[in-house]
Structure 1
Amino acid sequence: MSETASNTEIGNGGDKPNGIPAARGRALLILAAVFVVAALAWLLLWLFVFSAWETTDNAYVGGNLVGISAQVPGTVVEILADDTQRVDEGQVVVRLDPTDADVRLSQARSALAQAVRAVRQQVSTAGGADAQLVASEAALKKAQDDLARHLPLLRQQATSPEIIQHLREAVRQAQAGAEAARAQAAAAHAAIDDTAVANHPIVEQARADFRAAWVAARRNVIYAPVSGYVAQRSVQLGQSVQPGQPLMTVVPLDQLWVDANFKETQLRRVRIGQPVELVSDIYGGGVEYHGTVLGIGAGTGSVFSLLPAQNATGNWIKVVQRLPVRIALDPGSLREHPLRVGLSMEASVDVSDDSGPALVPTPAEHPVASTQVYARLIAQADERAAEIVHANLGRPKD
């Protein structure tokens, strides 16, 4: 009886030939199916989603660091902008002591006025030489007429040979006087012909000296060439500065970009114009920036480093290189969530459409950056010089 029951139990619940219970086998099959489905899902995601993006967290915000420096030597007497403060293009940021420059400007102003009057005097001298020439030619004509009237009288013995000799001497003297007057008139006109008083070389030289002095005097006032925020202010009151000496830096935070350093193995499908999604560490994943690929750097970082690697010497270990990819940021995103130069970013480039160019095909058609701050100084100097010239030309003749 017990043997029969034992045989029945073995027949109903015994092990499979491989020693794995049926329930456990089904569990392993289900687990294997889950892994297969997960692998298939991952493969599909890679083919249709992940393979269309190239991502790096080696990306940083870049921008223009506009250095402000002195253009003339001087002593700082006023500082009108400090770190973190905003300045607008053309705003005064530093003033230098203007005493020496004002003295030189006064000298140049006087020299310009004197040059105009000196040229006017040359014009008057030329007019006087013309009048003297007319008088000399009239005297010559009179002497020649007197000689012509007395020559017939000599043949008729109505006058003496001495008188004729005196008349001939008078003609020769008149000719010499006319020649001298002609030479003086030519010399006077050589200095003024084919030019007006305002455009005379002497006046132009004095005008150039005045412009230089005027600009130098105005450069004691140092302007911001662009609008932005002040950083790295190093200038101090009473400091004696020299031309080219850095005083502070202005950073235009509305003109930022991102330099993403991708591995060379990631750049196979990166093209200009591809869309980019970016996340900054300062705001986290809740704020997403949109950008566009502007271009790919012309060389790796190791090439442009201070001490480039010499891979042809010693033992060599291959290191995957990186190339900087310049990414333009959407201005609207920048206004809503301002960034700072040097902040860390994570950049993801959509490389699904790789039909664009890998290099910029044409040169730039417009300046990368420009300012009119310094051009205004020259225009104002020209206006002041024209006023001085006009004031010393005198009243026009009727």
Structure 2
Amino acid sequence: MSNTNDNPNAAPAPAVSPSKRKPALLAVGGLTLLAGIAYGAYWGLFLRHYESTDNAYVQAPVVQVTPQVGGTVLQILADDTDVVKAGQPLVKLDASDAKLALERAEAQLAQTVREVRSLYATNGTLSANIHLREAEVARMQSDVARASEDVSRRQPLAATGAVSGEEMKHAETALAAAKSAVAGAQSALAAAREQAATNQVLTDGTSIENHPNVQRASAAVREAFLALQRTELPAPVAGQVAKRTVQVGQRIQAGAPLMSVIPLDEVWVEANFKEVQLRKMRIGQPVTLHADIYGEKVEYQGRVVGLGAGTGAAFALLPAQNATGNWIKVVQRVPVRVELDARQIAAHPLRVGLSMEATVDVAEQSGQPLTAVGAARASRTQAFDTQQAEAERVVRSIIAANLGRVGAQVAKAERLALATH
């Protein structure tokens, strides 16, 4: 094939003159300069007020369901992905032993109440015995006085011979016997008073319901009642069940994790920012977030509420050993806690571990620094409050039923309250 350059008739390529090349270069340079100026203005007015990261993930409390007593699992009432309410039964254990223990404790409490009642009844008996002994002492003292008068009347007559010596001897013997009887009665009175004081010590300053013996037996009933109630495991919080490991028929020990409940209405975002991005962050700054599961069409609004106590590497199972010969500096990341709007969570639910993109507006610098101590966020459950109240009602019902006629009316009201509950 022949080369076109060898053709003498081919037209030469047009050359670009320097006069036309210079304006083109100037135009390109001008456009580049304008783009740089525009980006610099955009960064100075907008971008520098935002810190972004895609190293952010949804977090939520992971509430473990653990038994407070050991036993054999008879029934499982919730499985993974089930949504449960606070206090809803999740697992039931064999309650046979707990029921027997409760029956023994209830019987012991009833017996104790009756024994303490007998102590208070004995106080009245001993008090009446003291009055009886006092009356006997008074009667015998009058006998002594009468015998003493008889002796006094006969002594002058015995000197004149009007009263025989034998009669005088009888009078003196009667006086001595009366004095001995008074001494015996006084000893019996002292013994009765000591016995009453001893019994009074057991009942002084308290009532039957508040007597230490009754309180001890009541505590045993409460303990047995709670052990019975704890054979049914309720959900501590409302949420979704996850990580169920328990099986029917399994013998479990107290404290063994059976499943978890995730309250998905309490989720937050843990955004891991580089340490160089934290300089201008403050508590309360607004955060814009996007979840990968919904894309850009759903935007969450949140705010910064706190900073983690350390970097992820510091709390790793195998932390980095930087004090070695070969060392490369790696920029660390610190978790920043971002609180989400509850209404947006309800409209577009999130799950633990979902990826998020977080952008913090750091323009506002009036808030507290991230190192400041934030307000404590307390958490509590009311799922177990009813157990204490029911145990107390059972104790009051047993005490009232063994207090007598007045207590029977109280016991009836307590039983009606338990039935309606």
Q: Give your verdict on TM over 0.5.
A: yes
* Pair 1:188–1:381, CA change in 2 (3 A): same
Of 52, 55, 59 in structure 2, the residue corresponding to residue 55 of structure 1 is 52
Q: Does 1:353 align with 2:350?
A: no
Gaps of 5+ in 1: 1-13
* 1:368 shift after superposition: 2.0
Of 60, 64, 75 in structure 1, the residue corresponding to residue 61 of structure 2 is 64
Q: Is the 8 A contact 1:295 1:358 kept in 2?
A: no
Q: Is the 8 A contact 1:143 1:171 kept in 2?
A: yes
Q: Is the 8 A contact 1:71 1:219 kept in 2?
A: yes
Residue equivalent to 1:383 = 393
- How far apart, CA to CA, are the structure 2 residues paired with 1:94 and 1:357? 45
* 1:312 shift after superposition: 2.7
Residue equivalent to 1:218 = 229
Of 139, 144, 148 in structure 1, the residue corresponding to residue 141 of structure 2 is 144
Q: Is the 8 A contact 2:302 2:338 kept in 1?
A: yes
TM-score, scaled relative to structure 2: 0.87
Q: Which region of structure 1 is more displaced relative to structure 2, 293-302 or 318-327?
A: 293-302
Mapping of residues 86-101 of structure 1, within 5 Å: 86-101=83-98
Q: Which region of structure 1 is more displaced relative to structure 2, 306-315 or 248-257?
A: 306-315
- How far apart, CA to CA, are the structure 2 residues paired with 1:332 and 1:176? 85
- How far apart, CA to CA, are the structure 2 residues paired with 1:363 and 1:191? 54
Equivalent position SS for 1:199? coil
Render the CA deviation track for 1:165-197: whole Å, top value 9, x for unaligned. 111110111011101111111111111111111
- How far apart, CA to CA, are the structure 2 residues paired with 1:229 and 1:222? 16
Residue equivalent to 2:383 = 373
Q: Is the 8 A contact 2:281 2:370 kept in 1?
A: no
- How far apart, CA to CA, are the structure 2 residues paired with 1:363 and 1:23? 67
Q: Is the 8 A contact 2:305 2:374 kept in 1?
A: no
- How far apart, CA to CA, are the structure 1 residues paired with 2:104 and 2:27? 99
TM-score, scaled relative to structure 1: 0.92
- How far apart, CA to CA, are the structure 2 residues paired with 1:363 and 1:330? 18
Residue equivalent to 1:6 = none
Q: Percent of pairs identical after alignment?
A: 47
Equivalent position SS for 2:326? coil
Q: What is the identity, as a one-letter code, of the residue corresponding to 1:69?
A: T
* 1:361 shift after superposition: 4.6
Q: What is the identity, as a one-letter code, of the residue corresponding to 2:174?
A: I
Residue equivalent to 1:271 = 282
Q: What is the identity, as a one-letter code, of the residue corresponding to 1:92?
A: P
Equivalent position SS for 1:57? strand
What is the RMSD of the two structures over their aligned residues, measured on CA atoms? 1.7
- How far apart, CA to CA, are the structure 2 residues paired with 1:145 and 1:20? 157
Q: Which region of structure 1 is more displaced relative to structure 2, 298-307 or 287-296?
A: 298-307
Q: Does 1:313 align with 2:331?
A: no
Render the CA deviation track for 1:184-219: whole Å, top value 9, x for unaligned. 111111111111111111100010000000010011
Q: Which region of structure 1 is more displaced relative to structure 2, 209-218 or 315-324?
A: 315-324
Render the CA deviation track for 1:72-108: whole Å, top value 9, x for unaligned. 1111111110000100001001111111100001111
Q: What is the identity, as a one-letter code, of the residue corresponding to 1:132?
A: N
Q: Which region of structure 1 is more displaced relative to structure 2, 312-321 or 334-343?
A: 312-321
Mapping of residues 163-312 of structure 1, within 5 Å: 163-312=174-323
Q: What is the identity, as a one-letter code, of the residue corresponding to 1:293?
A: V
